[in-house]
Structure 1
Amino acid sequence: MVLLAPLLLCTIWLARLPKRPYVSVILLDEAGQLATPDLLLLMQTAHRAVAKLVLVGEQQQMDASTHGGSLRYLSQRQGCARINTIRRQREAWARTAVNDLRGGNAKAALDSFQGKGLLHIEDDSQTARAQLVKLWQVYTEANPDKESMILAQRLKDVKPLNELVRKVYQNQGKLGTENIMTECVVSNQSLYFAFSTGERVRFTKNDYKRDFTNGVQGTITQVLQLKDDIRYTVRLDSGRTVSFYQSDYSDEQGRLQLVQAYACTIYSSQGATVDGDTFVLYTTAMDRAASYVAGSRHKDNCNWFINGQELDAQSGQRDKGETPTLEARLKTLARCMSINKHKAMASEYIAGQQAEQEATK
């Protein structure tokens, strides 16, 4: 088995299925992304089936978007097996830097990235995005056989990155001229995208009837504007070609469940491995977990792009009228990357409150 990152294995229940000579095992990967109510339902189902449930995940990565923290809590209460060997990154210094991000030692990781020329602090957010796409283009043209990935924390940062990359492809003649503007939805947020032949797209909703899976990517081979609808033909990366009408793959508000896929959120990248370089647009809201996920998807190098004005605002230098220094910016960046914002279970909070009350008696 190839170990891609530190893992945590937690066994929840072990028993034998009635009237069967073998043990039924449920293996749940990326268990930290499962919300606590959903995990509870799965545990109850496994209990009724008299089955063994094994949770596999990385508790230092980003939690479930709602009701998170259950994997870390169970690993502390139930015990777990830990695999700490990292083999995704090819070079030893890169594996050390990933471990530093994981452990909250962001200063050491940043020193490594800076020493390799991978840290780019720009004057503002627009320049940071433009420089990211510029260096991404240089990399992809020089390494046509390598993979790459562009990452940002927020959808509002992902969209302009998508637009910049799309412009590069249009200038290269790799996209058609249809440019059919469509209202789309991802994570219940409305975004408008233009679609043409050759467009890289990602499905954002499971549709079991059509065998569409959330997160699957592909390339549009045909897009037709009809009188009251739009017809898409997409060649999936798996090799399968699918066709559908927008009206058949939309939410209740008619928003298409398909988006451009040139850049993606850090949260959606969890579990991905990029056989090449990654390009990360960093914002100061990215805590230890987000920085660790963003900085560990690559096999070769992770390139960081940061808005210097945002760092200056965090450090207070801009408000004081002081001239920003690289040392102060790196110190602020390291502090933001090291902040632990992991979610806590309600039971942990109650236990903490009770402990405080006991201590004050």
Structure 2
Amino acid sequence: MILFLICFILLLLLPDLYIWFSFVRGTAPLLWSIAYWIPTTLALSTMGLWLAGSHPDWMIRLFFGLLLCVSVPKLVFAVISLTGRGIGLAVPHAATVGHAAGILAAAVVCVAFFYGFTRGWKRLETKEIEIASADLPAAFDGYRIVQLSDLHVGTFGSDTTYLRQLVEQVNALHPDMIVFTGDLVNDSAEELDPYLEILPRLSAPDGVFSILGNHDYCTYRHYDTADGAARNLAEVKRRQRNFGWDLLLNESRIVRLGGDSIALIGVENDGRPPFPSRGDLPRAMREVPENAFKILLSHDPTHWRREVLPRTDIQLMLAGHTHAMQLMIGDFSPAGWSYPEWGGIYRENGQTLFVSIGAGGTVPFRFGAWPEIDVITLRRGLPQKP
């Protein structure tokens, strides 16, 4: 943690120092010179307050706004400018081209991130997905499931506009079932206070089912008592049940339609370190008929390769967690550096994984990886090649 903080602070300061000594010092008026350091000073100050346990909404937004719209563009400029200077040792005028290219790239990054910070994280989209399996019972051909994931309601603070819109859009889709695949909050059950009358409005004929994500254990904050996280977790569970959601904690449910049925299985978070691993898939499947069509709700997509693929015949797993790092450019996302399966449909050995990139986020920013409502239509038949 300390090493990470040191590296992070260096990434904030080194571009500033390069720009200061190369372009600002001795050329700008005194007031402009002082003003130059204000964004970085504010970013470091708010980061310090955040680490000390202060989490007001305005402070978090200020920090990430400065980071994304000021510090990152400075870093982009510094890297390109320094590259130009390096090439300039052998190629005349390369340094000048590098400075110009750096300014242009920094401006593009600044505009894109400003959009992602102000509008992109609430640019809600509905995605239609078809998933086919020869094992699907005939009565469930055309069955529609809405998947929501990673709401992180604390990021929206007390502004309920976005979640009201989301609930209205989901209900207007008239799905047969709604599933929520974890991370309802950031780190506290209190984040749900503004939404106690909104989230219960989610409705589907076969019910609303949910599981826990790593953030729902409420361990990402300081507590004055040893049982602080446990009490918060208990309250998150209680409130979900009060919403009318069927919270699956290493459990299963049988959903019937006509004379056919499918099994819905839900496990607690099953992640790689440092994320909690409390999932118990064998326990969750204890009462599932062996020949049933099985749908698994598991927050972390790494669970698919660690246990689901090698040890089960589960036909479909629905996950979230990655958010696609809340950044996509075309088909690229930095989430791919950490997760082999980070967004969309993946198939292997007749089994399918769908990873939602989520409808919220831990920070108020999204670019390219717009928040999504996923409408999954089940089809009986052979799956198409991805």
Q: Is TM-score (shorter-chain normalized) higher than 0.5?
A: no
Normalising by structure 1, we get a TM-score of 0.28
Normalising by structure 2, we get a TM-score of 0.26
Question: Higher helix proportion, which one?
Answer: 2
